[in-house]
Structure 1
Amino acid sequence: MESVRKIFNAAMPSQSYSIYRGVEEEDEAELHIDETPHVVQRTNPKGSGCPISPQYQKFIFIICVAMIVAFILGFVVTRHPCTSCDPIGDYAPDEPFDQDEPIRMDWAELKDLFTKYLSDGQEITEKIRKFSASSHPLGSKQNDDLASIILQTFKEYNLDQTFVESHFVELPFPNRSQRNNLNIVDSSNTSVKQIPIEDEDVYCPYSAIRRVKGGLVYVNYGRQEDFKDLTAWKINVSGALVILRAGKISFAEKVYNAQGAGAIGVLIFPEYGEKPVYGHVHFGTGDPNTPGFPSFNHTQFPSFRSSGLPDIPAQPISLTAAKTLLQRLAGPFASESWRAADFPSHGLGPALSDRDHQVQLEVTNIRQSKELHNVFGTITGRVEPEHYIVVGAQRDSWGPGAAKSGVGTATLLELARTMSMMVHNGFQPRRTIIFVSWDGGDFGSIGATEWLEGYLSMLHLKAATYMSLDTPVLGDDNFIAKASPLFNNLIDTIIKQVDHPLQSKQSIYDYMKVKSTNWRSEVMAPLRKDSSAFAFTAFAGVPALEFSFVENLKPYKFLDTKDDTYQNLNSIMNNRLPSVALSVAQVAGLALIKLSHDHILPLDYTAYNEVLLKHLVNLQTYQDKLKTRGLTFEWLYSARGDYNRATQRLRKAITHSDLHNEKVIQFFNVRIMRVEFYFLSQYVSAIDFPYRHILLGRGEHTLEALMEHLTEDQEDIDDSRLRKQIALFTWTLEGAANALSGEVWEVQRSF
């Protein structure tokens, strides 16, 4: 037995292992292996036979070496590459091994390639002219024909996949047999003056269908602060109709605020221009008849309405009609800042100058079933094909829609063509690019949100970012980017490399910086609540970006009117539409290249550190209100600190990792692309609160609701509700910190 042990020890070297626990800031464990083999000397023990002479030993050694060399040379010459092996080692006969390495192209090469294949401004504007030749609303033959043209164009561009996804939805339209009407009536309900609704096709989709009568109050833009001003001036809105001007916020927000203040109806007139302005009033997402669910053809859901549908009627009116009504208002006079341009002095209401008169509004819209078509084209990613960079534009338009949909659709097709040309000439995007022509944009981006609802459970795993091309040209002076804070650095990078359309040889960045000392706050703006980009972020948790060129002094007055034509859009910019359209395509294209090509997604996941800090500083002013109730923001501050540490930990991990390892890169990218998803509250229903984002959304779970509650008088604060709001916000933020930090077993040690 002893001899066996000796033979075993001689044949096998021993290994000694030692594990050391790291005590650095990142507290990461490292495994150290110390391999020190025993030195074993073999000798001929006494009595074991004749020893081999040194001459024979040398001869045998030479023969062995020659045999080994011959074997290696034979293997190298005769071997064939394995064409049926899976990368992880399993046999896979139907999956040939791809030996081609991705072609590495640096940023300068990609920019040159993009510039080479991008069309000039004239060619892009010809597409705009074509796509805005006539009205093409959802459900019309013109819109369906345009969808077919876009699908065929995607195919001609040789995109990897092209397809159409359709939905049936019930939408409101004007009643041709019984029109909406507006009157001034006396105490006996007899009409004393009919206020003409000049264009009977102009209406507010999703308005309540009913007749209301009461006094009239002027409410400026209909913002919450405007209603608070009226309360301070002791002007009662409850039980009266309100009249307000378009602008600042969406129609849906105006009506939502009016209903919350107790108004019974809403009249909206244009801030600039004469003609009434079209706009929907659903303060929600997707089809309001199936909130939170998709309207796919094969699904059936019980009939229930979205909480964002108003219970009061709303109607757009012309500037002339508005002046007629405002001149009849009694009460205190509107201040200079409240009066619309060129308006004479007028009262605020609610009484009319003739005390026996009231305003009566009747809305008679009817619901009709319509089929909408979203058109898709894709370029498959080379390395991360399962991660999508989605770029979309609204296709339908109630009017000609040059600014509303024409520029976006033309830019979408130009990007698809250019990217396809780049791919066929060496560009290999890491991630899949999805080009989408959305239908139903005029009804609250219903095409985009129905798609989101249909794939909500998987989009946070698939969609890395979304770029909206809706209304990218409303002027030619200022550049505004409306985006998630994650895009701040990317926007800076891109606008430094694109010339401003008004100043050649000067970048957009330099132009805006020289123009204003506070340029960053003017360029960076929050997402619009009535946009598809907002739905992607606040509803689905996908980082979203949209941008536009706008006029410096006045907004584009033809938006959402039948005068939104190519001629008017080009004329208002002094025939500079081609140069502006080219700048739009350059900004969108360069951003798309970086998002689809960069190894690490170019999203600044640390941006929310500063955003959260600013919000918490504002909350600190209400600390005294909390103390009297035995409450504190201590845990909320702690959650913010945890989130900050998690982002710094992630940044350090990326800096010190091997970024040539694709698994490592994808591991980091997954965490970065889900940052917005982490801010969706997991404690509320997507049906009741579709916008679950705690910083951008709407509902009890949001910071906005918490702030509004704290601004109320001490006796009006509900302790139970306040505790719930603090808890919902705190634990969603803590969950975001945990998710960003890393693996489950690292979370407790990290914090």
Structure 2
Amino acid sequence: TSSKSDIIDIYREKSRIQRNSLWMVDLQGEVLEEIPLEDPDSYCAYSATGTATGGVVYVNYGRQQDFDWLQSAGVSVVGCVVVMRVGGGVSYAEKVLLAQKAGAGGALIYPDPADIPQDPRRLGLNSYTAISEHVHLGSGDPFTPGFPSFNHTQFPPTQSSGLPVIPAQPISANVASKLLSQLTGPVCPRGWQGRLPYVRCVLGRGFTSADGRRIRMGVYNTMTPVLLNNIFSSLEGRIEPDQYIIMGAQRDAWGPGAVKAGVGTAILLELARTFSNMVQNGFYPRRSLLFVSWDAGDFGNVGATEWLEGYLSMLHLKAVAYFSLDQAVMGKTKSHSITLLQLMIQIVCVCVSLQDSRPYPFVNTPLDTSGRLQEVLGGRLGVVGRSLGELVGLMVLRLAHDHILPLRITTYSHTALQFSAQLNKHSVELQARGLSPQWVFSARGDYSRAAETLQEAILNSDVQDETMTRIYNTRMMRVEYYFLSQYVSVVETPFRHVLHGRGEHTLSALTEHLSLLTSDPRRFNEALFRRQLALFTWTLQGAANALSGDIWNIDNVF
């Protein structure tokens, strides 16, 4: 089995020739000083390879609003190396892509004590430790976007649009402090100040010395094909074997991976063992259970994505729910689960996580050990893990046995209603531009009525009628699939879900664009908004039609 350890070995072998590095250089490019990275084995997977030389600009978290503020303040990052801190609700991939769009030449990402505890005496991160992560704004193999990479498939290599073209490198708080403490320039706005020692928050571009110093960063990562192995175990259902409840956890990690992969894998194995013992005692579920250990999760859910892409047609109307066990304790399972939901498959994703009140700072570092996790949890790791496993087991049992799937299809009605309220707030501005929200209101009404009608029919149905319950379950399971936009390319837009995805086709993008009508009318693009509104409307209408069932029950007027 080839997993993350093999990839690390490949990178280390290459790094013996030339390691990722930072230098202080003069205007002629002569090296004045090498800045040790302190954590030389840290890296950003999928970073562009090469060097970037320029002034340094501090960009806070590297969010869109941070770059917008810099632009409004007249601070350019074009050709510069930007320094940004971990967090802020955006991934490494989003940070680097936004920096690239702003014209930066390179990106350095560090953990700030304001966001991640850095006192080892209080279970914090060492100040000389960097946090590794991948920077591909997408999911799966970045050279087979939208299609599987099984057995070196015959699809021609296609580079994902989510791969960065600028180098990116994680750095420690110490290295960030050394860079930022020497910067000159305007003072940072309120809320940008971190807690690096001896650092006065300024935006930068120049250094305190008058010798025209600049930073040069060098990234020498080498991408090499590696064999990945997903491991499956299944328990076939007795009545509806073609419907699946999937439980999955990644087993790779950047370091020891106690939280990242260890706990989830342990719970997955225990669930598989428990259900296996139940079968030996005469237990058989109504629907099939699938236990999956995913490979290469740290590189953008590669193992899970490629499997879904490879068996997508088979899984349509087959998968009932997916339970993500990644970072199940002290972790952030939501992003991984939603990523799987965004991948073109109409399943319900369940995020399972038990979190302590204290943050866990060691994810994606060599410090993510079982000993530290046990200490953070006060010796309760076994108890917490068992409780979580029992909770998942009970939820799986219900999904595996209930005649009618316990899916709340009316939830999206509320989401659509909230958006309708936002449109009403801007009705005057929209009418002035000849834009009518009437079709959205109609689609929302159709969806709400279809959901309520189906819910009422289920309540009044005979759950012993196998034919009818299967029809109802199929209609509910279609909903997520029909919330995947049919109007964007799966190659260019891997996250097509209009509510949980990313891109101009999503409801969040449409809402942000709508807000420009009052906040910044000059940036409002009427043609783009018309397209966004139309595509969202018909995606919502498609979901409503799917819930309605038979074609003769759909009452649209064209």
Same fold per TM (> 0.5)?
Answer: yes
2:188 is equivalent to residue 334 of structure 1 = yes
SS of 1:549 mapped into structure 2: coil
* Distance 1:538-1:685 versus aligned 2 partners, 3 A rule: same
Q: CA deviation at 1:423?
A: 2.9
SS of 2:229 mapped into structure 1: strand
2:232 is equivalent to residue 376 of structure 1 = yes
Quick check: 1:640–1:733 contact (8 Å CA) kept in 2? yes
Name the counterpart of 1:649: 453
SS of 2:243 mapped into structure 1: strand
CA distance in 2 between counterparts of 1:436 and 1:350 reads 48
For 1:709, the aligned partner's letter is H
Name the counterpart of 2:475: 671
2:400 is equivalent to residue 596 of structure 1 = yes
CA distance in 2 between counterparts of 1:591 and 1:260 reads 44
Alignment of 1:81-480 (within 5 A): 137-138=3-4, 140=6, 175-247=15-87, 248-271=89-112, 272=116, 273=125, 274=127, 275-297=129-151, 299-335=153-189, 337-343=191-197, 344-354=199-209, 356-474=212-330
2:376 is equivalent to residue 572 of structure 1 = yes
Q: CA deviation at 1:342?
A: 4.7
* Distance 1:605-1:452 versus aligned 2 partners, 3 A rule: same
SS of 2:151 mapped into structure 1: coil
* Distance 1:604-1:750 versus aligned 2 partners, 3 A rule: farther
SS of 1:617 mapped into structure 2: helix
Structure 1 residues not aligned, in runs of 5+: 1-135, 144-169, 483-526
Name the counterpart of 1:512: none
For 1:708, the aligned partner's letter is E
Q: CA deviation at 1:749?
A: 7.7
Quick check: 2:135–2:163 contact (8 Å CA) kept in 1? yes
CA distance in 2 between counterparts of 1:454 and 1:349 reads 48
For 2:151, the aligned partner's letter is N
2:341 pairs with 529, 536, 540, which one? 536
Q: CA deviation at 1:379?
A: 0.7
* Distance 1:281-1:687 versus aligned 2 partners, 3 A rule: same
- Superposition TM-score, scaled by structure 1 size: 0.68
Computed over aligned residues only, the root mean square deviation of the Cα atoms, in angstroms, reads 2.4
CA distance in 1 between counterparts of 2:84 and 2:171 reads 10
Q: CA deviation at 1:678?
A: 1.2
For 2:79, the aligned partner's letter is G
Q: CA deviation at 1:590?
A: 1.6
2:531 is equivalent to residue 727 of structure 1 = no
Alignment of 1:616-695 (within 5 A): 616-695=420-499
Listed one character per residue, the Cα deviations across residues 118-170 of structure 1 (whole Å, up to 9, x for unaligned) are xxxxxxxxxxxxxxxxxx94263999xxxxxxxxxxxxxxxxxxxxxxxxxx9
SS of 1:140 mapped into structure 2: helix
**727-736 or 240-249, which deviates more:** 240-249
* Distance 1:361-1:701 versus aligned 2 partners, 3 A rule: same
SS of 2:108 mapped into structure 1: strand
* Distance 1:708-1:210 versus aligned 2 partners, 3 A rule: farther
Q: CA deviation at 1:540?
A: 2.4
CA distance in 2 between counterparts of 1:250 and 1:584 reads 27
Quick check: 1:541–1:693 contact (8 Å CA) kept in 2? no
For 2:202, the aligned partner's letter is G
SS of 1:238 mapped into structure 2: coil
CA distance in 1 between counterparts of 2:509 and 2:242 reads 36
* Distance 1:717-1:172 versus aligned 2 partners, 3 A rule: farther
Quick check: 2:58–2:83 contact (8 Å CA) kept in 1? yes
Listed one character per residue, the Cα deviations across residues 407-440 of structure 1 (whole Å, up to 9, x for unaligned) are 0100000011112222333433111110000000
Quick check: 1:642–1:734 contact (8 Å CA) kept in 2? yes
Listed one character per residue, the Cα deviations across residues 661-714 of structure 1 (whole Å, up to 9, x for unaligned) are 111111111111222111001122211111111111122322223233334443
CA distance in 2 between counterparts of 1:226 and 1:427 reads 56
For 2:138, the aligned partner's letter is G
Listed one character per residue, the Cα deviations across residues 346-399 of structure 1 (whole Å, up to 9, x for unaligned) are 212233223512221111111212100000000111211101111100011221
Q: CA deviation at 1:616?
A: 2.7
- Superposition TM-score, scaled by structure 2 size: 0.91
Quick check: 1:172–1:206 contact (8 Å CA) kept in 2? no
Aligned residues: 538
**658-667 or 582-591, which deviates more:** 582-591
Q: CA deviation at 1:740?
A: 0.8
SS of 1:297 mapped into structure 2: helix
Quick check: 2:305–2:343 contact (8 Å CA) kept in 1? no
Listed one character per residue, the Cα deviations across residues 591-636 of structure 1 (whole Å, up to 9, x for unaligned) are 2112212111111111111122223323433334322321111111
Quick check: 1:174–1:201 contact (8 Å CA) kept in 2? no
Name the counterpart of 1:23: none
Q: CA deviation at 1:538?
A: 4.6
SS of 1:585 mapped into structure 2: helix
CA distance in 2 between counterparts of 1:449 and 1:141 reads 19
SS of 1:474 mapped into structure 2: coil
SS of 2:48 mapped into structure 1: coil
CA distance in 1 between counterparts of 2:154 and 2:548 reads 40
Listed one character per residue, the Cα deviations across residues 88-145 of structure 1 (whole Å, up to 9, x for unaligned) are xxxxxxxxxxxxxxxxxxxxxxxxxxxxxxxxxxxxxxxxxxxxxxxx94263999xx
For 2:370, the aligned partner's letter is Y
CA distance in 2 between counterparts of 1:186 and 1:141 reads 35
CA distance in 2 between counterparts of 1:326 and 1:616 reads 45
Q: CA deviation at 1:744?
A: 0.5
2:521 is equivalent to residue 748 of structure 1 = no
Quick check: 2:482–2:543 contact (8 Å CA) kept in 1? yes
Quick check: 2:57–2:203 contact (8 Å CA) kept in 1? yes
Name the counterpart of 2:546: 739
Identity of aligned residues (%): 49
Q: CA deviation at 1:172?
A: 11
CA distance in 1 between counterparts of 2:457 and 2:243 reads 22
Quick check: 2:177–2:196 contact (8 Å CA) kept in 1? no
Quick check: 1:172–1:367 contact (8 Å CA) kept in 2? no
For 2:177, the aligned partner's letter is K
Name the counterpart of 1:549: 354
Q: CA deviation at 1:332?
A: 2.5
SS of 1:450 mapped into structure 2: helix
For 2:97, the aligned partner's letter is Y
Name the counterpart of 1:487: none
CA distance in 2 between counterparts of 1:436 and 1:172 reads 29
SS of 1:473 mapped into structure 2: coil
CA distance in 1 between counterparts of 2:279 and 2:323 reads 20
**453-462 or 230-239, which deviates more:** 230-239
Quick check: 1:172–1:366 contact (8 Å CA) kept in 2? no
Quick check: 1:389–1:595 contact (8 Å CA) kept in 2? yes
Bigger Rg, which one: 1
CA distance in 1 between counterparts of 2:419 and 2:378 reads 42
SS of 2:414 mapped into structure 1: helix
SS of 2:426 mapped into structure 1: helix
Listed one character per residue, the Cα deviations across residues 245-294 of structure 1 (whole Å, up to 9, x for unaligned) are 11233211221222233222111112332200110000111101011110
For 1:340, the aligned partner's letter is G
CA distance in 2 between counterparts of 1:227 and 1:142 reads 33
Name the counterpart of 1:706: 510
Name the counterpart of 2:121: none
